[in-house]
Amino acid sequence: MNTTKKSIFKSMTQETMNRFKYQNVSAFGAQLAYFLLLSLFPFLIFLISILSLFSISMEGTFNILTKIAPKEAIVIINNYVKDLLPTRSINVLSISFLATIWSSSRGINALISGLNNAYEVQETRGFLKKRILAMLFTVLVAFSIVLALTIPNMGMDFLLWISKFIGLTELMIKLWYYLRWIIIIFILFLMLGILYLAAPNKRLRFKEIIPGTIFAIFGWVIISIGFSYFVNNFRNYTIVYGSLTAIIVLMIWLYLSGVILIIGGEINSLYSMYKVLNGKEDYTTQEDF
C-alpha cells in the first residue's frame, strides 16, 4: 500500500469515527434494531412460507447461525419457528402473505433512513414508493437466504452422486464442504451490495459500495462471534435480567448488527466523497433520485 493509499485509509478511518459520533450512528443503530425486532417474526413467517415452496427446512439456517450468533438469541427464534410450523401456513398469493411482507419490511425501511443519513440526503421518494422498495428488499433478503441454503447442499448432493461414476476423492468432497462458505459469503455480498446500491436516495455505482459491503460482512461476523463468546463465557446477563436474558441478548445482537450495517453505509459514503475529491469521479454523476 503506497503512501497516498495509506493516507486515504487513515483519513477515512478517522472520519468514520467522527461520523459515528456526529451523525448519530449509534442512535440509528438502535432505531434499526428496534424495527428489526418488530420485523423479525413476520419475516420468519414469510421466510418459512418461501422455504416450504422449495421443501427446505429452517434447520440449515440455524446450523449456520449457531456458528456465529449468540445461543440465547437463536433459542428465541428456534422456539418461535417450532411453535409456528404446525399451526401457520400462508398462501404466497394471499393478502395475508402480502401483509406479512409489509410488516417484515419495517427493518429495511429503517435501514434506508440510516443510509440516507450516511449520505446526508433527504428522502424525496414518496411513502408508498419507499415502502414498496423496502418490501422488494425484504423479498431479496429472503431469497438470498434460500439460495445460501440450497446451492451448497445441492452441490454436495451432486458431488456425492457424480462420485459414483468418476470416483471423486474424499478430499475433493471435503473441499467442497469448506467452499460452500465462500458461496454463502458471495451471496451475502451480492445481497448487501444491492441494498447499499439502491436503498439510499442517491444514484451510485456498484464499485462505490464495495468497501462498505466488505466491512459489513466481515464486521458482522466478527462482532457476532465476539458477542456470542462474551455471552457464553460471562453470565452477568443472567444475574441482571433473569428470565429476560434471551430477549435482551437478541436485542443487543440486533443493535450491534444495525450499527455495523450503518457504518458500512458511512464507509461507502466517504469512499464516494474521496473519489470525487481526488478527481477520480465526476461529481455530476452523483445524482440524487
Q: Would 129 be classed as within a structural domain?
A: yes
Query: pLDDT digits over 103-144, tens only?
Result: 888 899 999 999 999 999 999 999 899 999 999 999 898 888
**Amino acid (one-letter) located at 277:** L
Q: What is the mean pLDDT of the chain?
A: 80
Gap between the terminal Cα atoms of the chain: 35
Q: Would 182 be classed as within a structural domain?
A: yes
Q: Would 139 be classed as within a structural domain?
A: yes
Query: pLDDT digits over 145-187, tens only?
Result: 878 777 766 666 666 666 666 666 677 767 777 777 788 889 8
The residue whose grid cell reads 428522502 is: 123
The residue whose grid cell reads 455495523 is: 260
Q: Would 33 be classed as within a structural domain?
A: yes
The residue whose grid cell reads 436503498 is: 199
Q: Would 150 be classed as within a structural domain?
A: yes
Q: Would 19 be classed as within a structural domain?
A: no
User: What is the reported pTM?
Assistant: 0.81
Q: Which domain does 138 fall in, by range? A: 25-278
Q: Would 65 be classed as within a structural domain?
A: yes
For residue 2, pLDDT beyond 60: no
> How many CB atoms sit inside 10 A of residue 249's CB?
25
Give the count of domains, the chain: 1
Q: Would 9 be classed as within a structural domain?
A: no
